[in-house]
């Protein structure tokens, strides 16, 4: 293709190289264009330097064949213009001047090569081919450099934007690279750490462990390690926990020699907050949150170990079951806050009576268990029991109240009173009830005759069986409110027993026996039916549909036909599954885990919501919370009671709220009795609350009146810090 003259500057859209031929002699331009055309090159011609410059400004050429001496603008000026305007092309000078000075001058002005006229066609074509190859390589090199530069910029951006520390160490363990994350996380300028040994960061007690990961020299499938190490902050006096993932770096040697270790690279992730949350959850799994004592799980672990040691050493051990006398009176007259303070002081006083190696645990409520491992005889147990009883001669001073408290204790000895964990605890419990029956403030050793005292328990059981037929059970309802609005969001169904023989009994007084005897199945079915019926009565009366929460025991949910039973209830009362929420305890989840997951998922498929009740009083790992289809977590009232003054309760509730929000679960706080508790929960974005601050449990007809008001049970302005006296609350009961 040939185009002659500056007046014809159309862009040549061809894939083959485009060459500009510049000569003021027409026959030379034409012959050169013809030669190039025969060899597959596209050409454009210019009859002088000025036309060439104009073409170069408007069109991209791969190569310029340029004559030096032309009438208007000579070749050297054309090359100067190419350089000044940074035109991307390659120039071969084709000139009749045979002097060496002309060639040198052309090369100094940027020419790639110099060809004297006349020339051989093959010589010209070879120079053109070489010039085009050079130009192609230069373009590829520039493109590669641009790509590498862009890749490096992205790499640096990603490395320095990482939320984790990225590092490399040389073979001696000294830092050779750190990303920008090290300064905001640890307070060190990264430049100050380059060349420093990693031990400058690692906490002294973790240095030995650090050597196993930061001196990583393994290869193959095991060429990496993960480990948590404590690291010192440069400015603040604190330790952070980082999770290190480390990989060895190697330099390939000769084929018959192993690769040489040259250093380590890896990532360090800040897991400090996660570790704190795990420690809180781990602690509450094995400790009582109110007193700090061991809980039942930890006590049984210690007892199991003590039995094995006693058996091996042919020694005795003692298990004591302790109960505060008339503690219910303290709770009922002075309130739960005083009651909890008393329990903490009791725990402290009991610990002061023990030997090193003894284990004191809180079973729940006002009950404690004590393990005395490897005693010589029963006299050792007697001395400890008498010392504890004697310590209670001194009254407790709590918030201006002087409280005299006594304890009743039962003692079971290994191996005479039992050789298993459950038998020893059970028999100590029986002995404790015997000491109460004999006047309290004493201790009793277990004997077989004490089983007779369970006649009273049988009496209650018989009364309970009759109560089902006599319809002595009644369902009360306690509102659950939205913390942000104060309006009712749901109801919890709670069973009460009005016994002609025993009077009005709370669930704590008969539910444990109902579970022990299996009567909980009949009682639970009654509560479920009553709750569903009441929920639909409210809905059919034109009230907004409410979520109805019902407590379900592990025995109920473990029944083979439980899901079918729930399905039939929903059909019978024409109730949408989304209106029903079933509350299960942490202990129930741990029984037959996979089977339980399947049942709960089946319930969830009906639209039913699942709530985890009394969260924090048992053991729930994060994996369980993720495996089960749980919608709601209920914070146990034992943690709410101390808010916002008790730092332990504050830490626990804060952690639970953060965890629930992270898992996108609804959160309900139980036992809210004070406005400051409510304000604190609001500050943590807790979703819902229930407790005496809003309403005590009430019969269905009284709740109906409450719902008819359609007003908030707690004013939303509570949370804005205004004085309580400014509000007219709708609290009932």
Contact 491, 480 (CB under 8 A): yes
Q: Which of 270, 300, 334 is the last residue of a domain?
A: 270
Residues 206 and 285 occupy one common structural domain: no
**CATH number of the structural domain spanning residue 529:** 3.20.20.450
Residues 511 and 619 occupy one common structural domain: yes
Residues 311 and 231 occupy one common structural domain: no
H helices, E strands: number in the chain: 26, 27
Q: What is the DSSP string of 573-631?
A: TT--GGGEEEEEEHHHHHTTHHHHHHHHHHHHHTT-EEEEEEETSS---HHHHHHS---
Provide the pairing of β-strand 443-445 with 666-669: unpaired
Residues 258 and 331 occupy one common structural domain: no
- Closest by CA position to 628, among listed 645, 638, 613: 613
How far, in Å, CA of 299 to CA of 301, rounded?
A: 5
Domain count, the chain: 4
Residues 284 and 346 occupy one common structural domain: yes
Provide the pairing of β-strand 401-403 with 396-398: antiparallel
417 domain residue, yes or no: yes
How far, in Å, CA of 79 to CA of 641, rounded?
A: 89
Residues 568 and 713 occupy one common structural domain: yes
527 domain residue, yes or no: yes
**CATH number of the structural domain spanning residue 294:** 3.30.70.270
Domain of residue 384 covers 279-446
Residues 318 and 421 occupy one common structural domain: yes
The CA angle 549-626-486, to the nearest 5 degrees, is: 35
Residues 116 and 91 occupy one common structural domain: yes
Chain-centroid distance, C-alpha 584: 22
Contact 163, 209 (CB under 8 A): no
Residues 96 and 226 occupy one common structural domain: no
Residues 232 and 368 occupy one common structural domain: no
224 domain residue, yes or no: yes
61 Cβ contact list (under 8 Å, min separation 6):
18, 19, 20, 44, 55, 89
| pLDDT of amino acid 360 | 97
pTM (predicted TM-score): 0.44
How far, in Å, CA of 419 to CA of 54, rounded?
A: 107
Q: Which of 270, 303, 335 is the last residue of a domain?
A: 270
Local mean pLDDT, 10-residue blocks, the chain (733 residues): 42 65 89 89 91 91 90 89 90 85 85 86 89 84 72 68 87 90 89 90 89 66 70 86 86 66 87 87 87 94 95 94 86 84 95 93 94 92 95 91 90 93 93 82 86 64 86 94 92 92 80 81 94 96 93 86 94 96 82 75 95 73 75 92 92 92 93 93 94 93 88 60 40 35
Q: What six digits make up the tokens of 353? A: 């009576």
730 domain residue, yes or no: no
| pLDDT of amino acid 220 | 47
155 domain residue, yes or no: no
Residues 534 and 619 occupy one common structural domain: yes
**CATH number of the structural domain spanning residue 228:** 3.30.450.20
Residues 579 and 656 occupy one common structural domain: yes
463 domain residue, yes or no: no
How far, in Å, CA of 658 to CA of 106, rounded?
A: 76
Residue for token pair 């040198």: 104
**CATH number of the structural domain spanning residue 33:** 3.40.50.2300
Provide the pairing of β-strand 401-403 with 407-414: unpaired
Q: Which of 141, 171, 206 is the last residue of a domain?
A: 141
310 domain residue, yes or no: yes
Beta bridge mates, 20: 44, 64
303 domain residue, yes or no: yes
């Amino acid at each position: 293709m040939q185009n002659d003259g500056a007046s014809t500057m159309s862009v040549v859209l061809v894939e083959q190289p485009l060459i500009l031929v510049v000569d003021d002699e027409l026959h030379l331009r034409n012959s050169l264009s013809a030669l190039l055309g025969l060899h597959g090159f596209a050409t454009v011609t210019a009859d002088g330097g000025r036309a060439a410059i104009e073409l170069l400004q408007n069109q991209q050429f791969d190569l310029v064949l340029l004559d030096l001496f032309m009438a208007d603008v000579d070749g050297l000026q054309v090359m100067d213009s190419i350089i000044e305007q940074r035109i991307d092309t390659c120039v071969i000078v084709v000139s009749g001047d045979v002097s060496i000075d002309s060639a040198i001058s052309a090369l100094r002005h940027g020419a790639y090569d110099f060809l004297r006229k006349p020339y051989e066609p093959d010589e010209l074509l070879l120079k053109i081919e070489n010039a085009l190859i050079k130009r192609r390589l230069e373009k590829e090199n520039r493109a590669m450099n641009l790509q590498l530069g862009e890749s490096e910029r992205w790499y640096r951006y990603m490395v320095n934007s990482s939320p984790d520390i990225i590092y490399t160490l040389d073979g001696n363990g000294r830092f050779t690279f750190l990303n920008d994350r090290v300064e905001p996380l640890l307070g060190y300028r990264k430049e100050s750490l380059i060349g420093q040994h990693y031990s400058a960061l690692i906490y002294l007690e973790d240095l030995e462990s650090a050597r196993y990961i930061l001196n990583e020299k393994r290869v193959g499938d095991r060429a990496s390690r993960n480990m948590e190490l404590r690291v010192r902050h440069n400015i603040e006096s604190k330790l952070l926990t980082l999770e290190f993932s480390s990989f060895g770096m190697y330099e390939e040697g000769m084929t018959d020699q192993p690769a040489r270790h040259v250093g380590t690279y890896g990532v360090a992730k800040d897991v400090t907050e996660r570790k704190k949350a795990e420690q809180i959850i781990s602690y509450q799994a094995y400790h009582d949150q109110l007193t700090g004592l061991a809980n039942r799980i930890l006590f049984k672990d210690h007892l199991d170990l003590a039995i094995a040691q006693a058996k091996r050493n042919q020694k005795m051990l003692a298990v004591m079951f302790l109960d505060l006398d008339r503690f219910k009176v303290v709770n009922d007259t002075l309130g739960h806050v005083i009651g909890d303070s008393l329990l903490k002081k009791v725990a402290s006083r009991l610990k002061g009576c023990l030997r090193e190696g003894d284990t004191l645990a809180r079973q729940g409520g006002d009950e404690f268990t004590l393990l005395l491992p490897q005693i010589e005889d029963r006299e050792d147990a007697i001395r400890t029991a008498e010392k504890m009883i004697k310590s209670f001669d001194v009254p407790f001073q709590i918030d201006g109240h002087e409280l005299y408290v006594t304890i009743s204790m039962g003692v079971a000895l290994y191996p005479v009173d039992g050789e298993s964990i459950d038998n020893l605890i059970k028999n100590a419990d029986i002995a404790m009830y015997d000491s109460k029956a004999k006047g309290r403030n004493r201790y009793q050793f277990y004997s077989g005759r004490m089983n007779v005292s369970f006649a009273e328990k049988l009496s209650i059981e018989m009364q309970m069986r009759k109560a089902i037929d006599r319809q002595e059970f009644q369902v009360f309802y306690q509102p659950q409110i939205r913390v942000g609005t104060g309006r009712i969001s749901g109801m919890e169904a709670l069973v009460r027993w009005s016994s002609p023989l025993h009077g009005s009994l709370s669930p704590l007084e008969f539910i444990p026996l109902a579970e022990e005897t299996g009567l909980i199945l009949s009682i639970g079915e009654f509560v479920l039916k009553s709750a569903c019926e009441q929920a639909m009565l409210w809905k059919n009366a034109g009230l907004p549909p409410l979520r109805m929460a019902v407590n379900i025991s592990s025995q109920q949910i473990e029944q083979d036909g439980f899901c079918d039973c729930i399905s039939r209830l929903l059909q019978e009362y024409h109730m949408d599954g989304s209106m029903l929420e079933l509350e299960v305890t942490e202990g129930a989840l741990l029984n037959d885990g996979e089977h339980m997951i399947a049942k709960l998922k089946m319930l969830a498929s009906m639209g039913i919501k699942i709530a985890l009740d009394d969260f924090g009083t048992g053991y729930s790992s994060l994996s369980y919370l993720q495996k089960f289809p749980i919608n709601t977590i209920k914070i146990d009232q034992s943690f709410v009671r101390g808010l916002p003054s008790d730092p332990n309760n504050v830490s626990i509730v804060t952690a639970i709220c953060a965890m629930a929000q992270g898992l996108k679960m609804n959160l309900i706080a139980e036992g809210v009795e004070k406005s400051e508790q409510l304000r604190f929960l609001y500050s943590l974005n807790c979703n819902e609350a229930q407790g005496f601050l809003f309403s005590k449990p009430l019969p269905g007809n009284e709740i109906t009146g409450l719902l008819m008001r359609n007003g908030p049970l707690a004013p939303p302005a509570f949370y804005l810090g205004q004085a309580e006296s400014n509000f007219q609350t709708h609290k009932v009961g």
